[in-house]
């Protein structure tokens, strides 16, 4: 199976399955001498792990970080960094009824048709459990970005029919995590919670949107052709389980705008040294123009579909083509977006860290 690595200079490879021994990641290309705080990585894992609220999967995993290599005396050595968490609450027997049956909306059919053999225990490699490996790597990337003054904030801006009135502001971690659905707008958060409570009684699920904003991104990250910054961000986000849409800046709304309204006017100010500093008066482009960051906040949104496993029986087929009834049971989220917030932040951090290192070779 290919396609398990991501990045150019700051590159990760993830491994593990939902109900195997555990999941992990190997980071290659992280500069030596970076001070690592393991507790900051653990905090990100805690934000992603299941069992956080009534709307999340009740699976109980400690997700305790193990640093296997590449870090000595809390500093990176320049060698590959291996991070790992063990699976402690795996229940493979819960999936025995799915050994030959294909669940609607899942990767059961496509994996079987592609590989001819699949791990049916919780979806195996296709399970969102794999994203814990990305969160570990992203948490380390955030510590690299902090040295450049870059900070990332992601939050839930909509769930089902309920959306924040404005959704392009930067919020602190405390403001985001104060809500069980990670929506920093209290009135909207309350509506979302009531909506999810009702969904749970119906045995149904829903999707939503996560907004992500990165402050402090310097001008110059990204490339003008095949590795535009927004293209690599889209690659990162659409590789997350259940992600179905990506938009940068005003995104699809820009299709209905006039150029005179969309264009971000440029202005110049003078810094303390007498050098000009350039800014845009607006940020319709989401901080990226020509595939290259312009110094404004980098803004994008990711749309997630409803969780495929619903607590209702569904008609499907088995691997031999026979009609079957797939029972609605298991431990799953009613809506994936609250737990996807740290995943979006992690993948954003990996892209920015990669481009930060790539930019060092842009000119003499």
Whether 258 is in a domain gets the answer: no
| H/E element, 156 | strand 151-159
Distance, in Å, from the CA atom of 21 to the CA atom of 132, rounded to the nearest integer, reads: 14
Query: 172-225 pLDDT, tens per residue?
Result: 999 999 999 999 999 999 999 999 999 988 889 999 999 999 999 999 999 999
What is the chain's mean pLDDT, rounded? 91
Q: Give the mean model confidence (pLDDT) for residues 83-90.
A: 86
**In CATH, what number is assigned to the domain containing residue 55?**
3.60.150.10
Q: In this model, does residue 238 exceed pLDDT 90?
A: yes
The dihedrals phi and psi of 219, each to the nearest 5 degrees, come to -65, 140
Diameter of the chain measured on Cα atoms: 75
Distance, in Å, from the CA atom of 257 to the CA atom of 259, rounded to the nearest integer, reads: 7
Residue 156: per-residue pLDDT: 97
Query: Binning pLDDT at 50, 70 and 90, where does residue 230 land?
Result: very high
Whether 266 is in a domain gets the answer: no
What is the helix, strand, coil percentage profile of the chain, to 5? 30, 25, 45
Distance, in Å, from the CA atom of 223 to the CA atom of 227, rounded to the nearest integer, reads: 5
Query: Binning pLDDT at 50, 70 and 90, where does residue 291 land?
Result: very high
Whether 311 is in a domain gets the answer: yes
Query: Binning pLDDT at 50, 70 and 90, where does residue 53 land?
Result: low
Residue 125: per-residue pLDDT: 80
Question: Which residue(s) pair with 16 in the sheet?
Answer: 23
Question: Which residue(s) pair with 11 in the sheet?
Answer: 28
Query: Binning pLDDT at 50, 70 and 90, where does residue 54 land?
Result: low
Whether 293 is in a domain gets the answer: yes
Whether 94 is in a domain gets the answer: yes
Q: In this model, does residue 167 exceed pLDDT 70?
A: no
Whether 316 is in a domain gets the answer: yes
pTM above 0.85, yes or no: yes
Q: In this model, does residue 32 exceed pLDDT 60?
A: yes
Tokens read off for 201:
């009684």
How many domains, the chain? 1
Distance, in Å, from the CA atom of 141 to the CA atom of 361, rounded to the nearest integer, reads: 19
Query: What residues make up the domain containing 202?
Result: 5-249+285-361
């Amino acid at each position: 199976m290919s396609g398990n690595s991501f990045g150019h200079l700051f590159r990760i490879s993830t491994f593990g399955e939902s109900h195997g021994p555990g999941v992990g990641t190997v980071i290659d290309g992280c500069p030596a001498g970076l001070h690592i705080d393991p507790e900051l990585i653990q905090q990100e894992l805690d934000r992603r792990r299941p069992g956080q609220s009534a709307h999340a999967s009740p699976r109980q995993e400690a997700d305790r970080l193990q640093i296997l290599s590449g870090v000595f005396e809390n500093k990176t050595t320049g060698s590959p960094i291996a991070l790992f968490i063990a699976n402690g609450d795996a229940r493979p027997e819960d999936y025995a009824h799915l050994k030959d049956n294909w669940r609607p909306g899942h990767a059961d059919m496509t994996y079987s048709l592609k590989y001819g053999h699949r791990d049916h225990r919780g979806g195996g490699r296709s399970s969102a459990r794999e994203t814990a490996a990305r969160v570990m790597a992203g948490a380390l990337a955030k510590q690299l970005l902090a040295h450049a003054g870059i900070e990332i904030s992601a939050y839930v801006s909509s769930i089902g029919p309920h959306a924040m009135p404005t959704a392009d502001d930067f919020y602190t971690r405390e403001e985001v995590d104060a809500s069980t659905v990670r929506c920093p707008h209290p009135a909207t958060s309350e509506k979302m919670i009531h909506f999810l409570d009702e969904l749970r009684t119906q045995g149904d699920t829903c999707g939503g949107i996560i907004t992500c904003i990165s402050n402090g991104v310097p001008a110059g990250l990204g490339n003008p052709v095949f590795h535009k910054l927004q293209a690599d961000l889209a690659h990162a986000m659409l590789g997350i389980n259940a992600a179905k849409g990506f938009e940068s800046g005003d995104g699809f709304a820009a299709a209905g705008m006039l150029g005179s309204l969309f264009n971000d006017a440029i202005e110049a100010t003078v810094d303390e040294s007498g050098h000009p500093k350039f800014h845009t008066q607006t940020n319709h482009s989401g901080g990226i123009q020509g595939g290259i960051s312009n110094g404004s906040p980098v803004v994008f949104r990711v749309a997630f579909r409803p969780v495929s496993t619903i607590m209702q029986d569904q008609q499907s087929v088995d691997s031999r083509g026979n009609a079957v009834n797939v029972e609605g049971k298991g431990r799953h989220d009613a809506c994936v977006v609250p737990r996807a917030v740290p995943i979006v932040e992690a993948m954003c951090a990996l892209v920015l860290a990669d481009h930060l290192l790539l930019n060092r070779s842009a000119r003499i």
